[in-house]
């Protein structure tokens, strides 16, 4: 049975991507923890499109409030950290003839026992990266975590 580790927000974000199905169980456990999450897909040769797709999903899901700088700033840094992992530190894509096809998850919650530690956001990415020719890509994964 699927079990979310309430002390590991990044692990939970990755599990959302790597364990398919069980949506009802995900909802129940995240609700019990008072955590929020969303998932989606993005494919592009443009890093800006990846960032905007994830930001849009997080805003529409109510995970972040676009009027709060701290929410958007924390989300942006978590996204960029995850992209850096996916691209092995070279965040350019189309400029150097690379493309990605990714699934993403965004999780917001309180992973520390001490409530004074506040909320954190995790962004996980999993999919493929490679030349823009079908069949010439390989798997990739990235994770970014930032405090709210």
- Going residue by residue through the chain (148 aa), what tens digit of pLDDT does each one get? 566 666 789 999 998 888 877 778 888 888 888 899 999 999 877 778 999 999 999 999 999 999 999 999 999 999 999 999 988 767 655 565 577 889 999 999 999 889 899 999 999 999 988 877 777 778 889 999 999 9
Q: What is the pLDDT of residue 7?
A: 73
- Tell me the whole-structure pTM to 2 decimals: 0.90
Angle of helix 69-86 versus helix 47-60 axis, rounded to 10: 140
CA dist list (Å): 141 to 34, 44, 101: 26, 15, 11
- Degrees to nearest 5, angle at CA 40 with 58 and 6: 65
């Amino acid at each position: 049975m699927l079990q979310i580790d309430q002390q590991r927000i990044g692990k939970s974000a990755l599990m959302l991507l790597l364990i398919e199905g069980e949506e009802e169980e995900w909802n129940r456990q995240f609700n019990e923890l008072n955590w929020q999450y969303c998932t989606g897909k993005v494919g592009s040769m443009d890093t800006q499109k990846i960032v905007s797709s994830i930001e849009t999903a997080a805003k529409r899901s109510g995970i972040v409030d676009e009027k709060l700088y701290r929410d958007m700033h924390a989300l942006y840094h978590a996204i960029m950290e995850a992209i850096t992992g996916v691209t092995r530190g070279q965040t350019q894509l189309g400029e150097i003839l690379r493309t990605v096809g990714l699934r993403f998850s965004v999780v917001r919650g309180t992973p520390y026992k001490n409530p004074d530690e506040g909320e954190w956001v995790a962004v996980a990415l999993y999919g493929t990266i490679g030349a823009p020719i079908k069949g010439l890509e390989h798997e990739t994964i990235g994770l970014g975590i930032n405090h709210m």
